[in-house]
Structure 1
Amino acid sequence: MNAFMTKGTFDFLKKMPEKHPNIDFFFMRENTSTLIYYEGEKKNIFASGKEYESVTQSGTLQKNGYVVMNNIPVADDGKAIFEDKFKQRRGNVESAPGFQAFRLLRPKKGNTYVAMTQWASESDFDNWKNSDEFKQAHKDGGDVKPPAYFLDRPFVTNYHMVDMEG
């Protein structure tokens, strides 16, 4: 499965469902910026945006909730190791209260993967982040030096879903 996303103004992006009624879009806001996301097998409809291939996924994306995207730059020779580590550790997040969906997205161009989780609320994510399960899943991380296959430090973006039907 492929995933596609782009950023823009809400006024411009809100017209996309009218132009492409067969696509199930997900709208997310971060401060004043809007991101639109969709999944499918077809080609990217965005003039400028990012294309990904889903490496692993669980859950069903919802039209409401809180999304956390961990953007992780990975060197070419480390991609297989990185993907394997994610496949091995992803299971414990799925049982967390408020968990809705997970996607590990491999970039079709560039080296920045996106590990995306969706939660029912921001407080559900905060509870997970403070849990023993989170600490166990991220025990190799913290403030230590990133693994050699990381090209740069990962960064996180957070979004609130925008319910276009409500």
Structure 2
Amino acid sequence: MNVFMTKGTFDFLKKLPEKHTTIDFYFMRESGSTLVYYENEEKNIFASGKEYETVSQSGTLHESGYVVMNNIPVADDGMATFEDKFKQNQQSVASMPGFQAFRLLRPKKGNTYVVMTQWRSETDFENWKNSDQFKQAHKDGGDVKPPAYFLDRPFVTTYHMVDMDE
């Protein structure tokens, strides 16, 4: 499955569903910016944006909720190790209350993976971050030096799903 994302103004992006009626778009807002996300096997319809291949997934994306995207630059020789680690840990997150969806996305260009989770609410995500399951899944992380296969420090972006009826 391919994943496509682009950012822009809500007023411009909200016209996409009218032009592409067969695509299920997911609109997310971060501060003043809007991100549009969709999954399919077709080509990218965006003039600019990012393309990914889904490596692993669980759950179903919803039009409401809270989205967390961990952006992790990974060296070419560390990709297999990185993917295996996240495939093993996805079951623990899927069992958490409020969990909706998980996607491990491999970039088609570049080296920054996206580990995306969607939650019913920001509180559900915070509960996951404070859980024993989170500590177990991230026991090699924390403030220590990133693994050798990380090219740079990971960064997190968070979004609230946009109610298109507002």
- Structure 1-normalised TM-score? 0.99
> 2:28 & 2:89 partners in 1: Cα distance?
26
2:6 alignment partner, SS class = strand
> 2:140 & 2:33 partners in 1: Cα distance?
32
Structure 1 counterpart of 2:27: 27
Matched, 1:107 2:110: no
* Cα RMSD after superposing both structures: 0.7
The letter for the 1-side match of 2:159 is Y
Structure 1 counterpart of 2:86: 86
- Stretch moving more, 62-71 or 85-94: 85-94
Provide Cα deviations, 1:61-110, integer angstroms capped at 9, x if missing partner. 00000000000000001001100111111110001000000000000000
> 2:129 & 2:81 partners in 1: Cα distance?
24
> 1:39 & 1:100 partners in 2: Cα distance?
16
Matched, 1:146 2:139: no
The letter for the 2-side match of 1:82 is F
The alpha carbon displacement at 1:164 in A equals 1.4
Q: How many residues align?
A: 166
Structure 1 outlier segments of 4+, above 2 Å? none
The alpha carbon displacement at 1:165 in A equals 4.2
> 1:118 & 1:164 partners in 2: Cα distance?
18
In the alignment, structure 1 segments of 5+ residues that lack a partner are none
Structure 1 counterpart of 2:73: 73
> 1:128 & 1:7 partners in 2: Cα distance?
27
Structure 2 counterpart of 1:57: 57
> 1:158 & 1:46 partners in 2: Cα distance?
21
> 2:150 & 2:156 partners in 1: Cα distance?
15
> 2:141 & 2:90 partners in 1: Cα distance?
15
1:90 alignment partner, SS class = helix
Provide Cα deviations, 1:27-86, integer angstroms capped at 9, x if missing partner. 000000000000000000000010000000000000000000000000001001100111
1:88 alignment partner, SS class = helix
> 2:135 & 2:165 partners in 1: Cα distance?
37
The letter for the 1-side match of 2:156 is V
The alpha carbon displacement at 1:119 in A equals 0.1
> 2:90 & 2:152 partners in 1: Cα distance?
22
Identity of aligned residues (%): 81
